[in-house]
Structure 1
Amino acid sequence: MHQTQERGRVQWRPRRLAASLAALGLAAATMIASVGTATTAAAAVPQVINIAQTTTGTSLTPSSVGLSFEASSLSLPGFTSGNLATYEKTLGTSVMRIGANAVDRTFWTSTGETAPSWATDGTITPVNLTSLAGLAQASGWKVILAVNLKHYDPARAADEAAHAKAALGSSLLALEIGNEPDLYPQYTNNTAQYISDFQNYVAAINQAAPGVPIEATDVATSPTGTMQNAFVSYETGLGTPNISELTSHYYPLKGAGCGGTSSISDLLGTTTRTNELNNATSAVSQAARLGVPAVIDEGNSAYCGGQPGVSDVFAAALWEIDHQLVNARQGVQGVYEHGGVKQCGTTMPYTPLCALTATDAANGKLAAQPEFYGLATVAQIGTGDFLNVDNPAWANVRAYAVKHTDGTETVVLDNVQDPAVNGPTTLQLNLGASFASGTRMDLTASSLSATSGITLGGQTIQPDGTLPTPTTTGFGIGGNSFNVTVPAGSATLLTLTPSTGSTTTTFVGGLSGKCLSVTGASTADGATAEIWTCNGSPSENWTVNPNGTIIGGLSGKCLEVTGSSIANFAGVDISICNGAANQQWTVNADGTIVGVQSGKCLSVLGAATTNGATADIYTCNGSPSENWTKR
C-alpha cells in the first residue's frame, strides 16, 4: 500500500527485512494470493480482468444447480432409502427431475395392471411416489416428474399426475410430458401432431390434477430447432402459455456409447465453451418469447452416457463449474445434471454419483464422483447477482463474479489448463470498488485425469454425502485491485468484503508512541502482535471492519486473542479470519480497543514501551498503555 515509502525506509529492523522485501513485489494497493511463489508471480505480466460493479440482470439462485435421473430409478429401492438426500442437501435446496429416456420404457399403474412388453425399465406405482415424496422432504428439494408420451395415453398420464399431486404436495414443482419428443418416430416431420398430443395431455392432467404446473418441451436438439420453434409459436398464440417453463437438453460432446472419441481438451476447450454459451443464449431467447424461465433440465458432458476418461475425471469438475455458471450468467434458471444411482462402471460414466459396490447400490449408498465436486463448488458460491466481467484470459481461466445481498462478492477463477504442461496463471483483478479483505477456497486434484484425491477447501466429500466446512485462507486487499495466482487445473473462489464502513489505519500506543505491528512482519498464523517504532511497514496497517474484525494490511489475517482466552495478560496474535468471538473488537472513541469475547482492553504487556514489547489484554483501567490513536 506504501510501495514508494517502503523502498525508502532504511531504518526497518533486520528481522523484518526478509518479509518486507517480499512485500515490495506487490503492485500498489494489490496483494498476490497465490500458491506459487511471489518471485514467479512477479516475473509474469498478469492479464487484467475487469469486474464492473454493474449487474448482468441474471442471478445464481438456489435452484440453479439441480440433478436429473432416469424414471426407472423410482423402482430401485435404494433410490429413496439411501444417502441421496444428504448429497442433495450438500448442494443446497434445488430441483431433481425424474424422467429421461427411461420414461418411455416405464409403465405407470395405480391398479396393479400387468406391464406391457415395451416397459423394459419397470413399473411405477403409487408406492414409488410416496417414497419419492419422502426423499423430497428429507432433502428439501422440489421434483419435476415426467409422464410417458411416447406410448400415447393421456388418461394414464393424468392418473399418475393426480397421484403425484397427492403424494408430493408442494414438493411437486412441475410435470414433464415426454422426453425428447423431437426424436420420437411419430413426430418426425410432424410437429403439428406433437403439439396436438401435448395439448390433449395438458387437458387431461388439468382435469385430474388442477393447479399442477406443466413444463415443456424437453427437446434433444437446439432450443431454436424446428419443434421448439413451432411449439413456442403455438404457445404464443394462446395468449397465456400453459407451461411454467421452457425446457431443453444439452450435451456438448458425443459419448463413447454413440461412437464418440472426445478428449479432455475437447471438453475444456474454447469450442465447447462457445457452443455452450450460444446454446444458453438461444434457450433464454426462446423462453423470453413466452415470458417463462428457460431451464436445461437434462444435460452433461457427452450424450450417450458420457466418455470414459473424460466425463468421470477431475476435468469434468472444472468443466461443470464453467458449464453451470455460463448458463446461469446468460439467464438459464436451472441446469440439472443427468446421472444414475447404480453401481459405478455399470452406469453412465458422466454420473455425479454412483455406488462403489453392488451391495451399496442395493442399499442406496452412493459415492461422490469427480463431477459432483464441481457442483459442490458452485454451491459454495452462494446466491447473488452476476456482475459484468471483461476477461481477456477466458480461453484458459474462466472468470465470474457474483454479488451477494450482504454486499460481499465472490469471484470464481476456473483454470482449465492442463497442469502437466502449464504453470500457474497470475491475474490482476480490477474490482471497480474498494475492498478491505477476502478469503480464498480452492478446488484441487493431482491432475485433470484424477479420479480420487480431489479436495474442496482441503476437504473431501464424506461417504454419507456431507462436505465438512471447507478451509479458507484470508488475505487483505485495502483497495480496488489485487493480483491472484491460480494453478493450472484448479478452481478458486475468492469472497471479498467491501471497504464500505471500513477504515484502514495505524494504531499508535498512547504510552509508547509506537505502532501496533506483528513480530518480524510475519504473516503466519499465531504470529505475535507487538509495538515497534512507526516506519510505514505494511504490517503496521490495520483495516477496521463493521463486523468487528481488525485485519492486518500485510497478512490479511485477523487480530485475535490467543487461544480464545479471556484472562488478564492473554496474548494477542493474528490468524485466518474465521468469525470467532476472539477475533471481534470494539474500537471506541476514547481510544480503547476492547475484545468482544473478553470485555478487556488491548494493551501492552507490563505497560512496556520498548520495541518488540508484546500486546496482551487486560481489565480496562484507564492506563495510557490501553489507549490507541488512529492515524
Structure 2
Amino acid sequence: MAAGTAAVLLAAGGISIPLLLDDSAAAPAPVPAEPETTAVAETPLPPEPVFTYYNQIGPPEGSPLTAVEPLALTVGTQKTGTSLTDGLVGLSLEATDLADPAMSGENPEMVQSLTGLGKPLLRFGGNAVDRRFFWTSAGEPVPSNLTGDKAHPVRAVTPADLERVNTLLLAVDGSINLTVDLGHYDPARAADMAAHASRIFGDRLAGITVGNEPNGYASNGLRDSKWTVDDYLTELKAYAQAIYAAAPEVKIIGPGVYEQSWWAPFASVDLPQEKIFSFHHYPLSSCDGAKDPGGAPVLANLMSQNIHDHADRYRGAALEPASAAGLETWITETGVSACPGSNETTKTHASALWAADYAISGAQLGISRLSFHSSLITCKGGPPMSAICTGGEYLQPNGAVDERANYYGLSMIAEMQPGEFLAVEETGGGLSHAYAVRHADGSVSVVLVNANNPETDAQLSVSLKLPGRPLTAAMSQLTGSSYASEDSTLIDGQLTEAVPVSERLTLPGFAYGSETQDFVLTAGTVTVLNFTFQE
C-alpha cells in the first residue's frame, strides 16, 4: 500500500473491504465554487420628457357617491389568438339607401361621419331588400307587386347608383356588402347585380348576401309556412351558381339570420365560391318583456353584467360552426334592440357604453366585422337606434348628417389601430370590462369600459400591470353625465369622433418607465390608453 493509507477490515459476511484513509482525513471535502453571476442592468430610459396631462372629468358635483371595488388589472404577453381587425366597425343600411343621393363622396357631411368609424364596411340589406328594392341595369319599370309607404318608399337601384356609392367608398376608404332580393326569386337578376358590382367596386366589394333574414320568410309571408332551411339552401345554391358564373371572385356572405338552427347548415353547404359566415344579433329584443324580462330594452338590462355575458355566449355559439368550417365570422346587422320605436335605451349615453363594449368584446371573441343597423331617415321621426341620421324636418332632409350617442361609442373602438389581443387578468372593478391589444409598432392599447353609474358611483381606482416599461401613455375618453342622458356623450370633452393617438394627451399620474400604473377613472366612461415601451 502506498504511504499514508491503511487497510481496514470490515466484517460483512466474511468480505474484506479496503478503505483508503488520507493522513489528513479530518478535513472536509472542498465545496465546488458557485459560478459567478453578473447582474444584467436594465437598459437606461431616455430622459423623461415634459408631458401635458389629460384633464379627466370628475363625477357630478354633489353626487351620492358609492364606492366601487378597486380594479386590479394585469396585461400579459400571451396572445388570445384573436385580432382587432382593420375596418371592424361598420354600418348596416337598407338596400334602398343605395338610391339615396346622400351616399356620395361629394357629400362632405356623410364623408366626415363615416370617416369617424375608421375604414367602415357599409352593408346594404335590411327588410327593404325583399320588399321594396328593385335592381335593374336595363331600365325596366318597378314591378307593381312591390309596396312601400311614405317613410319607406319602393326604390329602383341601377349601376349609376353603384357608381355614386363607390365615390363614397373611395372617400372613406371603406368597403361594401350588398344583399340581393331572395323574397322574389330571381337568380339571374341577382347575378346581373353581382357582375356590375364586381366591375364597379372591385376589391372593395366584400361579398353578396342572398336575402335578408330568410329564417323569417315562413312567418312573414315571403314564403309559405312549410318553407324550411333546406328549401333556403336549395335556392341559395341556385343564386350562388348564377353569381359565380357572372362574377366568380365575389364571395357569398350568409346566412344573415338570427335563428341558431340555420347556422351550421350554411357553414357546411357546398358553394362554388368562397363563403363568409354572418349572423344578426339584437340582445334586448323582448319588446314587452313578458316572456323574457331580462331581454326587455330597458336601462337596467342594458347596464348589467348579464347582457355582457349573454352577448358573449350567443356570439360564441355562432363562432363554433363557422370556426369548424374555417370561415371568417361577421355580424352583418346588430344593435341594442330590434323593437320598433323609442325605448329607455335609445339615443342614450348607456347605448354608447354598450356599443363600445360590444364592438371590442366581439373582436376579442373572433368577430372580424360588425355592422350596426342605421338609417338615413331624418333624426326627427327616424329610427332612434340609428347611429347616424339626417337633419331637417321629418322626411325632409337638409343635407346635414348627425351622430347619436352610440356612434361615439363605436368611434372610440373604430379609431384604434389593428393588432393582436393580449390576455388580461382582472379582479374587482364593479361593472367594468378591460381589453388589451398589441399593435404592429409594439405599442399596447388598453381599453377600459367603466360602465358603473356616473350619477351614483365613485371613481374607480385602477392598478394596471403592463408587459413592459412605458415611455408614453396617450389617453382618450368618452364621457356622459348619466345613463339616460341624450345628446351629451362626448369624446375628450367635445362632440366629435375620436382623434389619432399622436394627438392625445397623457394619462394623469403616469409613472414614467414603471410597469405598474395607478390611476382613477370616472364612472360611465370608455377610456383608451396607448402605451409605448422601452425596447
| Bin of the TM-score, shorter chain as denominator length | 0.7 to 0.9
Q: Distance in 2 between matches of 1:311 and 1:301?
A: 8
Contact kept, 8 Å, 1:418 with 1:447, in 2: the verdict is: yes
Q: Secondary structure at the match of 2:442?
A: coil
2:165 aligned with 1:132, yes or no?
yes
Runs (4+) off by over 4 Å:
31-37, 255-261, 465-471
SS in 2 for 1:254: coil
Change (3 A) 1:176 1:119: farther
Which letter maps to 1:180?
Answer: E
- Aligned equivalents of 2:395, 2:501: Cα separation in 1: 22
Question: Is the counterpart of residue 52 in structure 1 residue 76 in structure 2?
Answer: yes
- For residues 166 and 432 of structure 1, do their structure 2 counterparts lie closer, same or farther at Cα, with a shift above 3 Å needed? closer
Match of 2:49 in 1: none
Answer 1 or 2: higher relative contact order, Cα 8 Å, separation at least 6.
2
Checking the alignment, whether the CA contact within 8 Å between 1:401 and 1:409 is kept in structure 2 is yes
- TM-score for both structures, normalised by structure 2: 0.79
Q: 1:436 aligns with which of 471, 481, 499?
A: 471
What is the rounded CA distance, in whole Å, between the counterparts of 2:206 and 2:501 in structure 1? 30
Q: 8 Å contact 2:54–2:505 — kept in the other structure?
A: no
State the Cα distance separating 1:266 from its structure 2 match.
Answer: 0.9
Q: In the alignment, does 2:124 pair up with 1:98?
A: yes
Per-residue deviation, 1:180: 0.6
> Does structure 2 retain, via aligned residues, the 8 Å contact 1:144–1:176?
yes
Deviation at 1:168, TM superposition (A): 2.0
- Tell me by how many angstroms 1:285 deviates: 1.7
Which of the numbers 456, 481, 485 marks the counterpart of 2:516?
481
- Aligned residue number for residue 306 of structure 2: 271
User: Is the alpha carbon distance of 1:124 and 1:398 closer, same or farther for their aligned partners in structure 2, counting shifts above 3 Å?
Assistant: same
Conserved in 1, the CA contact under 8 Å of 2:68 and 2:430?
no
Supply the AA of the counterpart residue of 1:115: V
State how far apart, in whole Å, the 2-side matches of 1:230 and 1:244 are. 13
For the residue of structure 2 that corresponds to 1:441, the secondary structure is: strand
- The residue that corresponds to 1:155 in the other structure is 188
What is the distance in 1 between the residues matched to 2:371 and 2:457? 32
* Residues 73, 255 of structure 1: alpha-carbon distance in 2 compared, 3 angstrom cutoff: farther
Q: For residues 547-626 of structure 1, what are the structure 2 equivalents within 5 Å? A: none
CA distance in 2, matches of 1:257, 1:163: 44
Distance 2:370 2:254 in 1: 15
Alignment counterpart, residue 79 of structure 1, candidates 84, 89, 103: 103
Give 3-state SS (helix, strand or coil) of 1:275's partner: helix
Determine the C-alpha separation between the residues in 2 that align with 1:115 and 1:257.
Answer: 37
CA RMSD, aligned part only?
A: 2.9
Match of 1:200 among 215, 230, 238: 238
Match of 1:372 in 2: 407
Q: If the length of structure 1 is used for normalisation, what is the TM-score?
A: 0.68
Taking a change above 3 Å as real, the CA distance of residues 466 and 57 of structure 1, as seen in their structure-2 partners, is closer
Q: State the match for 1:210 in structure 2.
A: 248
1:342 aligns with 2:373: no
CA contact (8 A) 2:88 2:414 kept: no
Partners of 2:390 and 2:398 within 8 A in 1: no
Match of 2:277 in 1: 246
Q: CA deviation at 1:363?
A: 4.8
Q: CA deviation at 1:337?
A: 0.8
Matched-pair contact (CA < 8 Å) for 2:114–2:172: yes
1:35 positional shift: 5.7
- Deviation digits for residues 542-601 of structure 1 (CA, Å, limit 9, x no counterpart): xxxxxxxxxxxxxxxxxxxxxxxxxxxxxxxxxxxxxxxxxxxxxxxxxxxxxxxxxxxx
Shift of 1:217: 0.7
CA distance in 1, matches of 2:525, 2:210: 39
Match of 1:284 in 2: 319
Query: Residues 524-535 of structure 1 correspond to what in structure 2 (within 5 A)?
Result: none
The correspondence for 1:392, drawn from 427, 433, 450, is 427
2:380 touches 2:394 (CA, 8 Å); kept in 1? no
Maintained 8 Å contact 2:443/2:533: yes
Which has the greater radius of gyration?
2
CA deviations 1:110-154 (Å, max 9, x no partner) are 222222222433222222222111221222111111000111111
1:323 aligns to what SS in structure 2? helix
Give the 3 Å change call, closer, same or farther, for CA 306–233 of structure 1 in structure 2: farther
**Is contact 1:305–1:350 with CA below 8 Å preserved after alignment?**
no
SS at match of 2:269: helix
Aligned pair partner of 1:115 in 142, 152, 160: 142
Contact 2:180 2:211 in 1 (8 A): yes
> In 2, are the aligned partners of 1:457 and 1:472 still within 8 Å (CA)?
no
* 1:315 equivalenced with 2:350 (yes/no): yes
Amino acid at match of 1:443: L
In structure 1, the gaps of 5 or more residues are: 1-30, 501-631
Q: Deviations over 1:440-471 (max 9, x none)?
A: 22111222222223321233228xx9999864
Residue 190 in structure 1 maps to residue 228 in structure 2 = yes
Displacement of 1:364 after TM fit? 3.9
Q: Percent identity?
A: 30
8 Å CA contact 2:511–2:517 kept in 1: the answer is no
Shift of 1:391: 2.0
Gaps of 5+ in 2: 1-52, 60-64, 149-153
Select which of 177, 181, 184 maps to 2:214: 181
Larger proportion of helix: 1
